[in-house]
Structures are given as structure tokens and as C-alpha cells.
A and B are shown apart, each in its own frame.
Chain A
Amino acid sequence: MSARRIFARPARFAAIAPYVWMVLFFLVPFGFVLKISLSQTAIAQPPYEPVFDLTAGWTTIRAAFAALGIDNFKLIASDDIYVFAYLRSLTVAVTATALLLLIGYPIAYGMARLPKRWQAMAMVLVIVPFWTSFLIRIYAWINILQHDGLLNQILLALHLVSQPVVWLSTDTAMYIGIVYSYLPFMILPLYATLAKMEPALEEAASDLGAPPWQVFWLVTFPLSLPGVGAGVLLCFIPIVGEFVIPDLLAGSNSLMIGQTLWLEFFTNKDWPVASSAAIVLLVVLLLPLLLYERLQRRQLEER
């Protein structure tokens, strides 16, 4: 057997592996969810019908197919609760992502300009919160933000406020929690692009007469756009579906789609509607991904 063949086989397998993974852990479960979303609620085990029983014979399966329908999607489209939940999710995600970019960019930029030996240290500092469980960190925020929590104690001690401020169960608390939790996901891709940017490019811009703010807007920022795109996607997509942070830190007067989903699934036991909501969410999230991909492809084609 030639050397080429020996190496060709594992290489071919490695190329197939991601597709196998996608089919097994994404497409198959997605098929289940899609099927449930087209079913009807029932007081049964499982709580929907029709149920496909492959042993029941061909006609029963045909009848089960005929019983599928898009009623749940119509319900979601017509019911304000869902529309508002989607809109709120998108608003929260856009606002939080913008805040993350505004806070994360200067941090990443500062890190990339640190002397080399300090950069590794800064990186560790960004990642170190991951050593503690996510839930524990959110509960810690409850502790800080509650009526007699650390934040109010500090504000009172500094005489900045005369009465304790209500932080918990507000959108502010939720944004604090989201920005805090997702900041590393914004910083790391930005830092990676900024750190590998040639410093001579900024010097060249400055040499050609650009004052510092123009150096940033005309050279540094455009060249960091791939990092901005990656950071924005890494934050935006999970924030849209975020459940834990709004549930623990925000008030209950308006829900994000993740919370609505949870309610439908566990409280109302309405699996079909919950599944439809999940499918719509997926479609909503695919849009920015497709847009990003198309932009990247156009950039490649321009070269």
C-alpha cells in the first residue's frame, strides 16, 4: 500500500466527521423538534399526538402524517405574547451586544498594546471567571444587587444615594449580568485580531498625516472587523436565547423568548407550541449568521 493511501483514509474520515456530528446531534434532534412542532397537544404520554409507531403498519403512519399541521405556527404568529417575547429578545440582544462591543473593544485594544509579557497575564484575567460555575456567578450578582447588597452599601457609604436603590429584578440588573457573563466572548476574538495586526500599519497612517482618531477609524477599526463580527455573533446568538440571566436578575413583567419557551414546556406542558417557538427562534438566529457568511464570502471574492 502506498504512503499516500495510508494517509488518505484518515484524512477523508476527518473531513466526514463534522458532517456525521451535524447529522447525529443537530439534524436528527431538529427533525424530532420539527415533528413535535407540527403535532397537537394531548393529555397523554408523550403530551402530543400523533405519535409515530413504526410497528403499527403503513396506513397508521400515513394517517399520522396527515394529522400533522402548522396550527402552532399560526398560533405563535397571532399571539402577542410570542411576538413581544421575540421582539424583547432581539432588543435585549442588540442592546447588550452593543454594550459589550463598547466595553470589550477598549479592553481588547488595551490588551493587544500591552508589553508581550503582560499580555498572557491579561488573558488569564479575562478567562479566570470561567473557573467558577456560571450559576454561582449569577447568584453572586443577586447578592451584590439586592436591597442590602454590596452595591447599595457602597453607594450609601459614599453618600451617593440616601435610600437603597432597587437594582434586582430590573432590566439594569439583567444587562449587568449579561454584559458581565459574555464579556470574555467579546474580548477574546477582538484581542486575537488586534494582537496580530501589524503595528507598522498604524504608524504608516500616522506618518501619512492621520491624527490618532483617524488612525483608529480608518485603519485599526476596519482591519479589526473580522474580530468584531466574530465577537458580535458569539454574544448576540446566545443572548437572544438567554434564559438563566433574565430569569434570575430581570423582573417578570416582560419575558424573553427563552423564558416563554421554558414556561410553555414545563408549566403549560405544551410541547408542540414550545417546539414551534424554538424553530422560529432558530430561523431568526440563522439570518444574521447567513448575512455574516455572505459578507465574508464577498470579502474573499474581492481579493
Chain B
Amino acid sequence: MTDELPRTDAVANAAGEMHPAAGEPLLRIEGVAKTFGTFRAVDGVSLDIKAGEFFALLGPSGCGKTTLLRMLAGFEAPDEGRILLGGKDIAQALPHERPINMMFQNYALFPHLSVRDNIAFGLKRARLARADIATRVAEMVALVKLDGLEKRKPDQLSGGQRQRVALARALARRPQLLLLDEPLAALDKKLRENTQGELMQLQRRLGMTFIIVTHDQEEAMTMADRIGVMNAGKLAQVAGPRELYEAPRSRWIAEFVGDINLFDAESKLCDGHRLIIGTRDAGTLVVAAPRQPVGESRFSVAIRPEKVKLSRRGPVSEAGHETAINRLDGVIADICYLGGTTTYKVKLDTGGVVQASVANSARLDVDAYSLNQQIVAWFTPDDCVVLPS
């Protein structure tokens, strides 16, 4: 999944870099916990991050992702656990002693310093020679395309330019690990999308390890190689974007990452590699058996809206057949046109509601469904996931 690109000389030569032993992760978080008063913000998180990886910490606000990031930067000390960077425990090291840099949510640019001095700040602290600092600053300015703005103060820059200065300043020291705290939250949508692409390119080109914190699942899916979903201080699932979306481990994750239709199961029957599940809202559904047997008594059947197809009559299918298809009859209860796709809410005859997302692949869709139209919503057993409730 990760693109194998050689790390540039610039990064490999970074001063004081700790080289993890072969096969060892760059960063290992072991049972880290942090409590504020009685609130357990981070509750026993363990995680390995490989060198060169683009990792996203995703979760709702208050889930502990920012606290975890602040512990990596050194602004908070964990109450329990270890943080190993290149094999060395840095959990109690002060922020200025770590070969880690952070890009702050509101950039935290020094208002009294020019763009050049902001970028040079970390280099001066590293006691680099004056000429080296000048070269490195020029390099960074070119990297983030800020040429000509070196003498400006932060309040003379646009939001996008400030974001670039913050990035250049954090990259200038060539950290082993770059932390990004909601780096794009302050940008408008279009600029955010462009910047996402630029950040990914930059990360690949520099071969640096990035950890980004975001509450925006689309942002995490777009940029990251792997995503760690956090909830109530714990890592709920760590997986690549596709696995996270198609094979969420719990009902909570499935609902947090994207939209999903959920039907509570009432009975189940094993039939080879299929499960025949009775649901209250959607009748009997045929589902591919999950790899782990469903042990829990309470579980639900989940299906993503774009995997639900709509048609006037529906495909022919026999319930007992190997290639059985789930057919749900209903009427269109709501239509939501979103440009690229249209989301239909179908009120099922069995009582439930199923959402279907259909791509608008033709400009003039004379055949579009209308409100209250009788319809068949259908999907294959492979498109369903069984989730513990």
C-alpha cells in the first residue's frame, strides 16, 4: 500500500537521528495512559508506527487523540506506559529534547518574527552555522512555495500562506517524526483539498513519518496509509482506509466512518459460508459468514448506502440458492440530490428504512426515481458486514 520511495539525503543526514533497528518500528507506543483529574483522556493505547508512514489519528472531539499527540510532542507526560522512538524511551523527555516537531492547529506562528525568522527559529536553536541556516531556510521557502514572502510578518499573510509557514517551520529541523494537529481545519474546502494532495506529495518526497490528528474521516482516508480510530481514550481500530471502511470492527466505528445502514439481528442460522439472519426491520437477510464466528448474542447486519442498488423490479434470485441476493421491497420516502450522487431513503414494507446512494452517471436522467415510487432495494451477501452491537 505504501509507495516505496527512497528517503532523501537531506533527511538521512539529519543531526542526532536515531536509527531504529531493522524491522523495528520508528515509534512504539506501549500502554500509554493519561488522566486529567478523574477524566481518563487516554486509556491504555498501544501502537507501532513504521518509518516513512503517514498515520492518521481519527476520532470525535474529546476522544483523546490530541492528548496522545501532545504526549508524543512532550507537552504532556503520560501517567503510564512507554513511548519509544527508535528504541529509546522518550516518555519523560522535554519537548525541546525530542527529534519530533509539530505543526499546530492554529499554526502558532511567532507574530513578532518574519516568515524567514519563523522558519529559522528551530535551526538557530540547533546551533547550525549561519550559512547553513540561510541555505536551509531558502530550501524550505522553495519547498512550500513561499518565495518573495520571507520578510512578511504572519499577520500580513493569508490563511493558506500561514499554513505553509507553519509546515516549513516544522519541517526545517528535519524531524524524525512530524506531528500535525488538525493542520487543515482552518482552511476553506477547496484549499483544504489541494493542500491534502500537497502534504501527501511532500511526505512521500521527504520520506518522513507523519502523524496527523483529525476529526475529518474523509481527510484521514485521503491522506493516510493507516488510520487509528480513537474513542473514549482507546484505540478502537487500526487499519488502512479500505479495511476501516469495508470491515469496521464495531458498530460504533462503522457509524463514525461514513454512512451505514444497520439492521438489528434477531436470529441466525449457519449455512456453509453464509449466515441467514432474521432481522426485525428488513426481514431475512443472507450474509457472507465473517472470518471470526459471531459469538455475541446481539449483533447487527451493516451495509454501506452505495452498495445498495435500486431497481424497479429487482434481480431474480432464489432464497436457497448459493448466489442468493437480498431483495427488499419498499417505496422511496426521501430524495437528496448531492450533485455527484443522489441519496434515496427507501421505506421498506417490513418497516425499516434503507439508504441507497446512487451515482449520477448521466446528466439527463429521465429515468430517475420519484417520491413514493414502488422500488426494490437489493444487495449481495458479500456487501454486508456482521457487527457486534
Contact = CB atoms under 8 A, between A and B. Distances in A.
Interface of A: 198, 200-201, 203-211, 214, 218-219, 222-223, 302-303
B108 A208 contact: no
Contacts of B173: 208-209
A203 B110 contact: no
Contacts of A201: 108, 110-111
9 contacts: A203-B104, A204-B102, A204-B104, A205-B121, A206-B94, A208-B121, A208-B169, A208-B173, A218-B121
Interface string B77-104: 0000000000000000011100011101
Given A200-B108, A209-B173, A210-B96, 5 more contacts: A201-B110, A201-B111, A207-B100, A209-B122, A222-B112
Contacts of B73: 203, 207
Contact of B125 (A203, A209, A302, A303): A209
A203 B95 contact: yes
B153 A303 contact: yes
Interface string B138-158: 000000000000000101100
Given A207-B102, A208-B169, A211-B96, A223 B125 contact: no
Instruction: From B96, B106, B111, name the one whose CB has the most chain A CB atoms within 10 angstroms.
Output: B96
B369 interface: no
Identify the interface centre among B73, B108, B155, B156: most chain A CB within 10 Å of its CB. Answer: B108
A204 B105 CA distance: 11
B256 interface: no
B75 interface: yes
Nearest to A208: B122
Contacts of A303: 153, 155-156
Q: SS class of chain A's interface: helix, strand, loop or mixed?
A: helix
Given A303-B153, A303-B155, A208 B101 contact: yes
B126 interface: yes
B382 to A, nearest CB: 47
Contacts of B74: 206-207
A41 B112 CA distance: 55
A204 B110 contact: yes
A209 B125 CA distance: 6
Contacts of B75: 203, 206-207
B95 A206 contact: yes
A4 to B, nearest CB: 32
Nearest to A222: B112
Contact of B108 (A204, A209, A211, A302): A204
A175 B102 CA distance: 47
Contacts of B110: 201, 204-205, 219, 223
A193 to B, nearest CB: 12
Contacts of B156: 303
Given A198-B106, A200-B106, A207 B95 contact: yes
Q: Which of A200, A207, A222 has the most C-beta atoms of chain B within 10 angstroms of its own C-beta?
A: A207
Closest 4 CB pairs of A and B: A209-B125, A208-B122, A200-B108, A204-B108
Nearest to A225: B112
